[in-house]
Amino acid sequence: MKYGYGRISTDKDSQRFDRQEDQLKEAGCERIYLERVSGTSKDKPELEKLLSELGEGDELVCVSIDRLGRSTQQVLALVNRLNDMGVILTSLKENFQTNTPQGRFFLTIVAAFSELEVEMCRSRVRDGLESAKRRGKKLGRPRKDMDTAIKMWLSKEYSVSEICSAVGCAKQTLYNEIKRRGVTRD
Protein backbone atom coordinates (compact mmCIF):
# COMPACT_ATOMS: atom_id res chain seq x y z
CA MET A 1 0.00 0.00 0.00
CA LYS A 2 1.17 3.53 -0.72
CA TYR A 3 1.02 5.97 2.21
CA GLY A 4 1.67 9.71 2.17
CA TYR A 5 3.05 11.96 4.89
CA GLY A 6 2.92 15.74 4.98
CA ARG A 7 4.00 18.20 7.64
CA ILE A 8 3.88 21.95 8.14
CA SER A 9 5.60 23.82 10.93
CA THR A 10 3.28 26.56 12.13
CA ASP A 11 -0.31 27.50 12.80
CA LYS A 12 -0.01 30.52 10.51
CA ASP A 13 -2.56 30.76 7.72
CA SER A 14 0.30 31.16 5.24
CA GLN A 15 1.22 27.51 5.73
CA ARG A 16 -1.37 25.07 4.48
CA PHE A 17 -1.43 21.38 3.63
CA ASP A 18 -3.03 21.87 0.20
CA ARG A 19 0.13 21.71 -1.92
CA GLN A 20 1.56 18.66 -0.13
CA GLU A 21 -1.77 16.86 -0.06
CA ASP A 22 -2.31 17.45 -3.80
CA GLN A 23 1.16 16.11 -4.64
CA LEU A 24 0.71 13.05 -2.45
CA LYS A 25 -2.66 12.26 -4.04
CA GLU A 26 -1.16 12.76 -7.49
CA ALA A 27 1.61 10.29 -6.55
CA GLY A 28 -1.09 7.68 -5.87
CA CYS A 29 -1.11 7.64 -2.07
CA GLU A 30 -4.09 5.72 -0.75
CA ARG A 31 -3.81 7.03 2.82
CA ILE A 32 -2.35 10.40 3.76
CA TYR A 33 -1.24 11.54 7.18
CA LEU A 34 -0.81 15.27 7.79
CA GLU A 35 0.45 17.05 10.86
CA ARG A 36 1.36 20.49 12.12
CA VAL A 37 4.59 20.26 14.11
CA SER A 38 8.12 21.66 13.91
CA GLY A 39 10.59 19.65 11.87
CA THR A 40 13.06 19.70 14.73
CA SER A 41 10.51 18.20 17.13
CA LYS A 42 11.14 14.57 17.98
CA ASP A 43 7.46 14.12 18.84
CA LYS A 44 5.47 13.66 15.62
CA PRO A 45 2.27 11.82 16.62
CA GLU A 46 0.82 11.47 13.10
CA LEU A 47 4.10 10.12 11.76
CA GLU A 48 4.19 7.59 14.60
CA LYS A 49 0.60 6.55 13.81
CA LEU A 50 1.57 6.11 10.19
CA LEU A 51 4.66 4.08 11.08
CA SER A 52 2.55 1.74 13.21
CA GLU A 53 0.37 1.00 10.15
CA LEU A 54 3.19 0.34 7.71
CA GLY A 55 4.18 -3.18 6.85
CA GLU A 56 6.66 -4.97 4.64
CA GLY A 57 6.28 -4.00 0.99
CA ASP A 58 4.49 -0.73 1.75
CA GLU A 59 5.73 2.60 0.43
CA LEU A 60 5.94 5.87 2.34
CA VAL A 61 5.85 8.94 0.11
CA CYS A 62 6.80 12.44 1.23
CA VAL A 63 6.89 15.64 -0.80
CA SER A 64 10.39 16.46 0.42
CA ILE A 65 12.84 14.79 2.78
CA ASP A 66 12.81 17.84 5.08
CA ARG A 67 9.17 17.02 5.93
CA LEU A 68 10.45 13.98 7.84
CA GLY A 69 12.95 15.85 10.01
CA ARG A 70 15.48 18.64 10.07
CA SER A 71 18.59 16.83 11.25
CA THR A 72 20.50 14.26 9.24
CA GLN A 73 20.55 11.98 12.27
CA GLN A 74 16.77 12.20 12.70
CA VAL A 75 16.07 11.44 9.03
CA LEU A 76 18.59 8.60 8.80
CA ALA A 77 17.20 6.99 11.98
CA LEU A 78 13.73 7.05 10.40
CA VAL A 79 15.05 5.61 7.13
CA ASN A 80 16.82 2.82 8.99
CA ARG A 81 13.59 2.07 10.83
CA LEU A 82 11.71 1.94 7.52
CA ASN A 83 14.38 -0.30 5.98
CA ASP A 84 14.12 -2.68 8.95
CA MET A 85 10.36 -2.82 8.38
CA GLY A 86 10.80 -3.52 4.64
CA VAL A 87 9.19 -0.18 3.72
CA ILE A 88 10.35 1.89 0.74
CA LEU A 89 10.67 5.65 1.20
CA THR A 90 10.03 7.88 -1.82
CA SER A 91 10.72 11.60 -1.87
CA LEU A 92 8.97 13.46 -4.68
CA LYS A 93 11.04 16.66 -4.67
CA GLU A 94 14.42 14.96 -4.50
CA ASN A 95 13.21 12.17 -6.81
CA PHE A 96 14.63 9.10 -5.09
CA GLN A 97 13.63 5.84 -3.42
CA THR A 98 15.47 4.07 -0.61
CA ASN A 99 15.21 0.62 -2.19
CA THR A 100 18.38 1.22 -4.24
CA PRO A 101 21.96 1.89 -3.10
CA GLN A 102 21.98 5.13 -5.11
CA GLY A 103 18.73 6.24 -3.48
CA ARG A 104 20.10 5.61 0.03
CA PHE A 105 23.32 7.45 -0.82
CA PHE A 106 21.39 10.40 -2.27
CA LEU A 107 19.17 10.49 0.82
CA THR A 108 22.22 10.87 3.06
CA ILE A 109 23.49 13.77 0.99
CA VAL A 110 20.10 15.52 0.85
CA ALA A 111 19.52 15.10 4.59
CA ALA A 112 22.96 16.58 5.31
CA PHE A 113 22.24 19.56 3.04
CA SER A 114 18.86 20.11 4.73
CA GLU A 115 20.52 20.18 8.13
CA LEU A 116 23.23 22.53 6.81
CA GLU A 117 20.56 24.88 5.46
CA VAL A 118 18.82 25.04 8.85
CA GLU A 119 22.09 25.69 10.68
CA MET A 120 23.11 28.41 8.22
CA CYS A 121 19.74 30.12 8.64
CA ARG A 122 20.08 30.03 12.43
CA SER A 123 23.59 31.42 12.17
CA ARG A 124 22.45 34.30 9.94
CA VAL A 125 19.65 35.15 12.38
CA ARG A 126 22.07 35.11 15.35
CA ASP A 127 24.56 37.28 13.45
CA GLY A 128 21.81 39.73 12.53
CA LEU A 129 20.57 39.98 16.13
CA GLU A 130 24.09 40.54 17.46
CA SER A 131 24.73 43.20 14.82
CA ALA A 132 21.48 44.98 15.73
CA LYS A 133 22.40 44.91 19.43
CA ARG A 134 25.83 46.41 18.69
CA ARG A 135 24.11 49.26 16.82
CA GLY A 136 21.94 49.93 19.87
CA LYS A 137 18.69 48.51 18.51
CA LYS A 138 16.28 47.27 21.11
CA LEU A 139 15.13 43.77 20.31
CA GLY A 140 11.91 42.03 21.21
CA ARG A 141 8.48 43.45 21.74
CA PRO A 142 8.22 47.08 22.72
CA ARG A 143 7.77 47.48 26.45
CA LYS A 144 4.31 48.61 27.44
CA ASP A 145 3.90 51.68 29.63
CA MET A 146 3.50 49.68 32.80
CA ASP A 147 4.26 52.65 35.07
CA THR A 148 1.08 54.32 33.79
CA ALA A 149 -0.85 51.06 34.08
CA ILE A 150 0.20 50.62 37.72
CA LYS A 151 -0.69 54.23 38.55
CA MET A 152 -4.12 53.75 36.97
CA TRP A 153 -4.62 50.50 38.88
CA LEU A 154 -3.57 52.08 42.18
CA SER A 155 -5.98 55.00 41.63
CA LYS A 156 -8.94 52.56 41.68
CA GLU A 157 -10.64 54.81 39.11
CA TYR A 158 -10.30 52.38 36.20
CA SER A 159 -11.25 48.77 35.61
CA VAL A 160 -8.57 46.30 34.62
CA SER A 161 -10.10 46.17 31.10
CA GLU A 162 -9.91 49.96 30.78
CA ILE A 163 -6.30 49.99 31.95
CA CYS A 164 -5.31 47.26 29.53
CA SER A 165 -7.01 49.04 26.63
CA ALA A 166 -5.31 52.33 27.51
CA VAL A 167 -1.77 50.95 27.64
CA GLY A 168 -2.25 48.13 25.11
CA CYS A 169 -1.49 45.10 27.25
CA ALA A 170 -3.21 41.89 28.19
CA LYS A 171 -4.83 41.48 31.59
CA GLN A 172 -2.35 38.77 32.53
CA THR A 173 0.53 41.13 31.68
CA LEU A 174 -0.89 43.71 34.08
CA TYR A 175 -1.40 41.13 36.83
CA ASN A 176 2.13 39.81 36.32
CA GLU A 177 3.56 43.33 36.58
CA ILE A 178 1.57 44.04 39.77
CA LYS A 179 2.91 40.83 41.27
CA ARG A 180 6.48 41.50 40.07
CA ARG A 181 6.49 44.96 41.63
CA GLY A 182 4.78 43.77 44.79
CA VAL A 183 2.30 46.67 44.82
CA THR A 184 -1.01 46.49 46.64
CA ARG A 185 -4.07 48.69 46.78
CA ASP A 186 -5.10 49.63 50.28
The string of pLDDT tens digits covering residues 130-144 is 999 899 888 877 677
The string of pLDDT tens digits covering residues 76-99 is 888 889 999 999 999 999 888 888
Let me know if 9 is a catalytic residue.
yes
Residue 94 is given by DSSP the state: T
Q: Which residue has the higher pLDDT, 15 or 133?
A: 133
Mean model confidence pLDDT for the chain = 89
* Residue 13: pLDDT band with limits 50, 70, 90: low
The string of pLDDT tens digits covering residues 29-77 is 999 999 998 877 788 899 999 999 999 999 999 999 888 887 778 888 8
120 Cβ neighbours under 8 A, 6+ residues apart: none
Q: Is residue 12 predicted with pLDDT exceeding 90?
A: no
Q: Return the minimum-mean-pLDDT range out of 3-17, 33-47, 105-119.
A: 3-17
Per the residue annotation, which of 9, 41, 64, 71 is the catalytic one? Answer: 9
54 and 82 Cβ atoms separated by less than 8 Å: yes
Bridge partners (DSSP) of residue 59 are 2, 88
The pTM (predicted TM-score) of the whole model is: 0.63
